[in-house]
Amino acid sequence: DAGVIQSPRHEVTEMGQEVTLRCKPISGHDYLFWYRQTMMRGLELLIYFNNNVPIDDSGMPEDRFSAKMPNASFSTLKIQPSEPRDSAVYFCASRDSTGGGYEQYFGPGTRLTVT
Amino acid sequence: AQTVTQSQPEMSVQEAETVTLSCTYDTSENNYYLFWYKQPPSRQMILVIRQEAYKQQNATENRFSVNFQKAAKSFSLKISDSQLGDTAMYFCAFRGGGADGLTFGKGTHLIIQP
C-alpha cells in the first residue's frame, strides 16, 4: 500500500510569494495532521482534520497560514505571503481511527526554503 | 499542556552494543499513548514502537523494547544489538486522551559507530 504522499519534496521561494504544500493521506485513514519541524522549535502540530473537517487549528502560527481538506484523499497547506521564518520541513501524517492504536503515519515531508 | 523531555541530545555507541534512550513526560491524564519515532537522514518519520498507558507490560518490537514507568512518567527506548542502520534522530511522542495531535520531545541523535 502507498504511504502518505507529499508534494513537492523541496520548495524554494522568495519572500512574499504564495506557497502551497500538498498531501494525500493513506487510503481509508480518517485523520490528517500537518506538522512543522524546525531546529529551534522541533516538531509542532499545526492543524488536524477528522473526516475532512478541521478540528484543531490552534497551532497555526498566524493568519498567513491556511489549510483545507476538500475530500478524504487530499489536503493543502498554504502560506501567503511567505516569510523567511517559515523555512522548515512540513510533514503530513494520517491515522485510522478504527485501529485503536493512535499511531500516525508520516509522509516524507516538504522542505521549504523562503529567501 | 503536556511536555515531553529527552535529556540526551546525542549518543554514540559501537555496533552490536545495547543503548538506552531516555524520555520523560508530564501529564495529569491517566489514559494516554506513547511512541518512539525514528528519523534517519532521509528525514522520513518512522514509527518504531508504541505503548498504551493502561498496559503494564512493556512493548517489544524485535530489537526494540521500552521501559515504561508510569508512576515516574518515564518511557525509555532500548535498542539491542545496535546496527549501523539505527543511526538516526529518535523522537519520543505523547498522545493524550483528549487530543489527537502528538507532542514530541526535542529528539536524541543516535550514532552507531562501526
Q: For residue A7, name the pLDDT band (cuts at 50, 70, 90).
A: very high
**Full DSSP string of A79-111:** ESS--GGG-EEEEEEEE-TTSSS---EE---EE
Query: What is the distance between the alpha carbons of residues A75 and A72, in angstroms, rounded to a whole number?
Result: 8
Which neighbouring-strand residues pair with A65? A79
Q: Provide the 8-state DSSP code for B101.
A: S
Closest alpha carbon within chain B to A42:
B106
B50-107 per-position pLDDT tens digit? 999 998 899 999 999 999 999 999 999 999 999 999 999 999 999 987 778 999 999 9
Question: Is there a contact between B101 and A33 if contact means CB atoms under 8 Å apart?
Answer: yes
Under 8 Å CB pairs connecting chains A and B tally to: 52
Closest alpha carbon within chain A to B43:
A108
A67-110 per-position pLDDT tens digit? 999 999 999 999 999 999 999 999 999 999 887 778 899 999 99
